Structure 1
Amino acid sequence: MSNTVLFEVGLEELPARFIDDALVQLEEKTKQWLDDLRLPYDTIATMATPRRLTVKVEGLADKQPDIEEEAKGPAKKIAIDEEGNWTKAAIGFSKGQGKGVDDIYFKEIKGTEYVHVNKYTEGEPTKNLLSQFSDLILSLNFPKNMRWGSRQLRYARPIRWLAALYNDEVIPFSIEDVQTGKSTYGHRFLGEKVEVEHADEYEMVLQEQYVIVDVAMRKEMIATQIEKLAQEKNWNILVDEDLLSEVTHLVEYPTVFYGEYSEDFLIVPEEALITSMKEHQRYFPVRAKTGELLPFFVAVRNGDEKHLDNVARGNEKVLKARLADARFFYEEDQKASIEKNLDKLSRMVFQEDLGTIADKVQRTIKLADALSDHLKLQPAIKKQVLRTAEISKFDLVTHMVGEFPELQGIMGEKYARIFGEDEEVAQAINEHYMPRHANGELPKSIPGTVVSIADKLDTIVGCFSIGIIPSGSQDPYGLRRSAIGILQMLDKQAWDIQLETLVNSAVKLYISLGLPNRSEEEVVQDLNEFFHIRASYLLKEEGVEPDIVEAVLANGIKHVPFTKEKAKLLASKRNDESFKSTHEALGRVLNLAKKTNVMEVDTELFENETEQTLYNTYLEVKQEYAASLSRHDAVQALKALGMLADPIHNFFDHTMVMAEDAKIKENRLGLLNLIATEIYAFADLNAVQWKQQY
């Protein structure tokens, strides 16, 4: 017989951001719990509203399956003594299995007889096990916990009721004096306390009490109502997926409505209006079909359609105050100047040991200047780069960014235009914050990219210099995201610069300023490892397998797009039959080259023609190979290395590398080491798990 089990934890309103993770935990932990109890089931469904977390299990078996198993004990010679009596080992084993020595029999395993008993364990009835679910409820983790009253329990929010049903029977347990029962609570204003007579009726009972407990259904209701409203009004309603999910977790019975605000507010940059609506009020902005922002908003009420006009007017009043603040800030900010704002940056602390924002700007200017010189930028573009770096943070002291931190850079671009800066500089001020999030938009312009790299590099190197290194989930300065952003920008631009050059340049700057409290060697090592992990992550995101990732990063990240090209080329060679001879030859060189540090060759010590041929081929290949590397042409570089394959095979066929004469041995190893150095410049080919089938 199949059964339905329901567990509902009733709470004070949960923060919306807690709910998705709580549902994932609830499902995974319930699966594990049932598996540990050996209870077969058909489906697990998790549900939630701001006031409850619920799990429902359908098709649950009546009892655990009975278990019949054969238990193996000690060897016969240990189980029976010289007189033929059972030893303590045999008696103890049988007792431990709930049996007696009369139940023992012997089975031969690999020529030795062992004690065995047949063990039968009757399955426990399901209803006797379900009260243990209280432990699972208490095991849920939340970003923040609280205590309430005189209780000792720390939980996301106070637990107000517990519903627990096995079909129509209450599953008895309590948490902090809250006892389980059949009762649940409907909508805070439209519903009431009700009894759930059977676990199967749970969703229906709550729907009658104005609670849509299924998250997906609630989300679909909101999306459908928004779409209907958009069609009726011929609007384009901006439905941000994150906002839609958040609003879904803020309501129990959703009803969509719209309101309006004065067109006078449209003089404020639309980014500020949208941010105010979305971030502060959880409203959906509205655009015309032609794209311009309209003075309307769409919101979701936690309730039915009654008195929606009053609800809309109330929301309009609140939004009007918000937008009035935004307009005031916008107008006040324009009364200042970029220079006055820059003066204020010297009073804003970036980090205690790294100085003020003004100090950070000066370091960013120096790094942007050095990068511009390395890239040989035209004077006009370099001038834009340096001006961008100089004023990149001026908007941080504006009223608008103070109220809406999400608009840093965006308002900088707006105000830079108003204050008469070049269009390229204004755009670059916004772009230097990019990418703002994982897989976010990258800067399009050269000034924006250069300053973005310089700014992020300053933050990373600065933090590492004073020992602030991300660990676990702790990354308060977003260093991981910044590092990935730098690598993505270098990949996109394909500039002729190596990652290590950038890092070393920044470290040297910090040393010249006397800022690090750690040694240069430690800082560089930690930074290289840090970027190595980020580069590995990006390559794996591109579908490159881990062994190839390690192969191409073995000698550093270097030129980012070239490293990526090498990785993809090696991946294509993994199953290439024609590449077998090359990878075997180069691999043998790498293996033997590890036995020496010698990097010189004396041709007078050559004893056979294959040595001379290999050396001559190496000299011929080296120039073309170096040219291919400098052009970042992975295909030609690997083809050049491939020209060494036959001479290498001939060399090994006719030459004893580990000769008895020490000078000859070292000379031969030195030749292999020269070749190995060139191979490593491409990749550590021995790190690749070659998959050719022979």
Structure 2
Amino acid sequence: MSKTVLFELGVEELPARFIDDALEQLKVKTETWFREQRIPFGEVKGFATPRRLAVQISNVADKQPDIEEEAKGPAKKIALDENGEWTKAAIGFSKGQGKDVEDIYFKEVKGTEYVHVTKFIQGEATKELLQDFRSVFLSITFSKNMRWGSYDLRYARPIRWMVALFGEEIIPFTIENVTTDRITYGHRFLGDKASLRSAEIYEEVLNDEYVISNVTKRKNAIREQLLKLEEDKGWKLIIDEDLLMEVTHLVEYPTVFFGVYNEEFLDIPEEALITSMKEHQRYFPVRSQEGSLLPYFVGVRNGDDKHLDTVSRGNEKVLKARLKDAQFFYEEDQKGTIDQKMEKLSRMVYQVELGTLADKVKRIRAIAGKISEWLNLNDLEKQQAERAAEICKFDLVTQMVDEFTELQGVMGEKYARLFGEEEAVARAINEHYMPRQANGAVPSSTIGSIVSIADKLDTIVGSISIGIIPTGSQDPYGLRRQALGVLQTLQSQQWNIPVEKLIDLVHQFYRELNLPTRTEEEVHQDLHEFFKLRAAYLLREKGIDPDVVEATLTNGVQNFAATIEKARLLVDKRQDPTFKYIHEALGRVLNLAKKSDVMEAKPKYFENDSEVRLYEAFKLVHPEYVQAMQEDRPAQALEKLSELASPIHDFFEGTMVMAEDEKIRNNRLGLLSQIATDIKEFADLNAIEWKQQF
């Protein structure tokens, strides 16, 4: 016979950001626990509100299944003495299995006989086992915990009640003086406590007490109300999915309402208005059907639809105060000049060992200037890049950004236009923070990309120079994300600038400025390895196999856009049976070239035609190969190397490389080493598992 099991953990209000992860942990850990306990079960449903986490498990068996299993013991020659009597080993084995020696029988395993016994294990009652479920509740982890009262337990929030039911029976256990019962609690104001007659009626009982415990149903209820209001009013709501999920986790019984604010606030940049509503008040902004922002907002109440007018007025007052502040900040920030605001950066510490924000801006400007030279920008573009780099951080001293930190760059662009800066410069101030999150948009303009890369490289090189290196999950300065941003921007812009050249440029600036660094060799190695690991991550994200990633990055990241193209080319060649002939030739060259440091071949030491033909073929191919590599045309470069396949095979067929004569041997190895140098510059082809694909 099967029953439904319910576990509910009642707590004080959980932060919305904790709930999704905690509920997923609870569901996964519940399934794992039931399997480990050998308790047959059906579907596991999860429930969560700000005040509870719960799981409902259907079709749970009354007891564990009985099992009969065979236990293997010592070999027969150890189990019996020379007189055929049972040894202590056999007797001890049988007792350890709860059996007698009379229960022993022999079975052959791989040609050797071993003692065995068959034992029967009766399944335990599920009700008794379920008392240990408390360990699942205690195993849930949170990003931040607290202690309360005199208890030792650290948990996200204090535990106030627990429900544990096996069908209609209470499962008894206790956590920090809270004992399980059948009593749950409804909405804090609209509901009451309720007694659950059985585990099956959990969701229905809570519905009666103004709690929608199913997260998906609660989220859908909010969405449906938003869309209904949108249709009734002819509005276009800005329904951000992250905000919708957050609001879902802030309420137990949602009711949508709307409010209004003064049209004069529409003069504030809409990014500031939207941020005030979404980030600070959890409101959904409203647009017209044409897309312009309207002086309305939509909120979600944790309660029913009674007295909504009063709720709206209260929220309108709160929002008005927020927008008044934003309006004041916006007006104050427009006073003075950008240069006056820049002066304040010299009083803002960026990092104790790396100086002020003004010092950082100087470095960004110098790095951006050098990148501009490498890109052969015209004079106007160079001036724009220099100016954008010079003022890229000025909005950090504005009151608007101080209040709404997420608007850094956004307000910089707005203010730069108001202060008369060129459009390319204003746009770059915003773009230089891109990408703002993983897989976010990268800068689209040349000037924005230059300043973005310069800023991120300064942060990365500076941090690693003073020993701030991400380890494990610890990356407080977001260096990994910024390195990914550099690589993604380089890929997007298709710039022919090796990553290592950029790294070394910035590292050189730090040495020239005599900023505190570790030894030059340590920093150089850590920087190059750091970017190589980030490039490997991005290549794997693009579906490139690990062995191809290793082969492609053997000489570093180089021009990242070309490196991606090269990796994809090798993945395609791995699937191409006609490439096997070429790979075998190039691979043999790489293997033999390892046996010598000689890098020169002299025609006068050639003894047969195959040596001459290979040498002449290489002399023809090499300049075109080098040109293709310099111009970042990997497909053409590999095509040139492939032309050497036939001469290489002929060479190995007609030539003994390891000749007894040292001059002849070294000359042949020197020829192979020259070819191998070109091959290795392209990729370490021998790191790729070709044979599995042919």
TM-score by length of 2: 0.99
Indicate the SS of the match to 1:474: coil
Q: Which residue of 2 aligns with 1:429?
A: 429
Following superposition, the deviation at residue 669 of structure 1 comes to 2.0
Give the structure 1 partner of residue 228 of structure 2: 228
Say whether the 8 Å CA contact 1:186–1:192 is kept in structure 2: yes
Aligned pairs for 1:18-417 within 5 A:
18-417=18-417
Distance apart, 1:521 and its partner CA = 1.3
C-alpha contact 1:261 1:320 (8 A) present in aligned 2: yes
| Residue identity opposite 2:267 in structure 1 | I
Amino acid at match of 2:258: Y
Cα deviation, residue 235, structure 1 = 0.7
Give the conservation status (yes or no) of the 8 Å contact 1:413–1:430. yes
Aligned to 1:589: 589
SS of structure 2 residue aligned to 1:503: helix
Letter paired with 1:451:
V
- Distance in 1, matches of 2:42 and 2:598, equals 67
Q: Which residue of 2 aligns with 1:530?
A: 530
1:355: how far off?
0.7
- Looking at structure 2, the residues matched to 592 and 59 of structure 1 have their Cα atoms a distance apart, in angstroms, of 66
Aligned to 2:610: 610
Query: For residues 33 and 692 of structure 2, what CA distance do their matches in structure 1 show?
Result: 44
662-671 or 68-77, larger mean C-alpha shift: 662-671
Partner amino acid, structure 1, of 2:648 = I
What's the CA shift for 1:220?
A: 0.5
Q: Which runs of 4+ in 1 moved over 4 A?
A: 691-694
SS at match of 1:181: coil
Does structure 1 conserve the Cα–Cα contact (< 8 Å) formed by 2:190 and 2:209? yes
Q: Indicate the residue corresponding to 1:649 in structure 2.
A: 649
Letter in structure 2 aligned against 1:297: F
Q: CA shift at 1:660, angstroms?
A: 2.7
Match of 2:316, SS state, is helix
Residue in structure 1 matched with residue 472 of structure 2 by the alignment: 472
Q: Letter of the aligned partner of 1:251 in structure 2?
A: V
Q: Letter of the aligned partner of 2:128 in structure 1?
A: N
CA contact (8 A) 1:457 1:503 kept: yes
Partner amino acid, structure 2, of 1:561: A
Residue 693 (structure 1) shift? 5.8
Q: Which amino acid aligns with 1:646?
A: S
Give the whole-Å Cα distance in 1 for the aligned partners of 2:502 and 2:234: 52
For 1:437 and 1:109, the matched residues in 2 are separated by 58
Q: Give the Cα separation in 1 of the matches to 2:19 and 2:244.
A: 14
Is there any run of 5+ residues in structure 2 with no aligned partner, and where? none
Return the alpha-carbon distance in structure 1 between the equivalents of residues 413 and 14 of structure 2. 38
Shift of 1:230: 0.6
Structure 2 residue identity aligned to 1:508: Q
Shift, 1:32, TM fit: 1.3
Task: Name the structure 1 match of 2:600.
Answer: 600
Q: Is the 8 A contact 1:41 1:57 kept in 2?
A: yes
Aligned partner of residue 359 in structure 1, secondary structure: helix
Is the deviation greater in 248-257 or in 645-654? 645-654
Q: Aligned with 1:113: secondary structure?
A: strand
CA-CA distance at 1:656 after TM superposition: 2.1
* Residue pair 1:575, 1:692 contacting (<8 A) in 2 also: no
Please give the alpha-carbon distance, in whole angstroms, between the structure 2 residues aligned to 1:692 and 1:101.
Answer: 52
Amino acid at match of 1:581: Y
For the residues of structure 1 that align with 2:54 and 2:625, how far apart are their CA atoms? Answer: 64
C-alpha RMSD of the superposition: 1.1
How far is 1:303 from its partner?
Answer: 0.5
> Which segment drifts farther, 109-118 or 288-297?
109-118
Distance 2:691 2:42 in 1: 41
Deviation at 1:525, TM superposition (A): 1.1
Larger CA deviation: 19-28 vs 401-410: 19-28
Offset at residue 98 of structure 1 (A): 1.3
1:539 corresponds to which letter in structure 2? L
Distance of 2:36 and 2:159 partners within structure 1: 26
1: CA distance between counterparts of 2:674 and 2:58? 68
**Partners of 2:557 and 2:580 in 1: CA distance:** 26
Secondary structure of 1:675's counterpart equals helix
Question: Greater shift after overlay, 301-310 or 538-547?
Answer: 538-547
2:614–2:644: 8 Å Cα contact kept in structure 1? yes
* Cα shift readout 1:396-431 (whole Å, capped 9, x = no counterpart): 000000000001011111111111111111111111
Q: After TM superposition, give the deviation of residue 204 of structure 1 in Å.
A: 0.3
Q: Given that residues 284 and 297 in structure 1 are in contact (C-alpha distance below 8 angstroms), is that contact kept between their aligned partners in structure 2?
A: yes
Shift of 1:385: 0.2
The structural deviation recorded for 1:40 is 1.9
Q: Distance between the aligned counterparts of 2:612 and 2:516, measured in 1?
A: 51
SS at match of 2:578: helix
Q: Offset at 1:692?
A: 6.2
* 1:568 positional shift: 1.0
- Name the SS of the counterpart of 1:515 in structure 2: coil
Distance 1:252 1:512 in 2: 60
Amino acid at match of 1:591: N
SS at match of 2:113: strand
Which amino acid counterpart does residue 460 of structure 1 have in structure 2?
I
Judge conservation of contact 2:496–2:632 (CA < 8 Å) in 1. no
Secondary structure (helix, strand or coil) at the match of 1:383 reads: helix
Residues 459-485 of structure 1: CA distance to partner in whole angstroms, max 9, x if unpaired? 000000000011122212111111111
Instruction: Report deviation, 1:42.
Output: 1.4
Pair 448,693 (structure 1): closer, same or farther in 2 beyond 3 Å = closer
Structure 1 unaligned segments of length 5 or more: list them: none
Distance in 2 (CA, whole Å) between partners of 1:39 and 1:547 is 43
What is the Cα deviation at residue 17 of structure 1? 0.5
Contact in 2 for aligned 1:580/1:692 (Cα 8 Å): no
Over residues 326-376 of structure 1, what are the superposed CA-to-partner deviations in whole Å (9 max), with x where a residue is unaligned?
000000111121111111001111111111100000000110011111111
**Any conservation in 2 of the 1:576–1:692 contact (CA below 8 Å)?**
no
Letter in 2 for 1:381: E
Q: Which amino acid aligns with 1:185?
A: Y
Distance 1:470 1:503 in 2: 17
CA distance in 1, matches of 2:673, 2:191: 80
Deviates more, 1:202-211 or 1:593-602: 593-602
For the 8 Å contact 2:624–2:640, the answer to whether it is kept is yes
Secondary structure of residue in 1 paired with 2:229: helix
Q: Distance in 1 between matches of 2:601 and 2:19?
A: 68
Between the aligned partners of 2:692 and 2:197, the Cα distance in structure 1 is: 64
Structure 2: how far apart are the matches of 1:629 and 1:312? 66
Segment drifting more, 151-160 vs 658-667: 658-667
How far residue 115 of structure 1 moved from its aligned partner, in angstroms, is 0.7
User: What's the secondary structure of 2:180's corresponding residue?
Assistant: strand
**Given residue 100 of structure 1, which amino acid in structure 2 is its aligned partner?**
D
**Worse-matched range after superposition: 466-475 or 403-412:** 466-475
Q: Name the stretch that deviates more: 58-67 or 146-155.
A: 58-67
Contact 1:170 1:180 in 2 (8 A): yes
- Listed one character per residue, the Cα deviations across residues 610-663 of structure 1 (whole Å, up to 9, x for unaligned) are 122111111111011112212222221111111111111111112222233333
Name the SS for the 1:362 alignment partner.
helix
Residue by residue over 1:439-492, the C-alpha shift from the partner in whole angstroms, topping out at 9 and shown as x without a partner, is: 111112111110000000000000000000111222121111111111011001
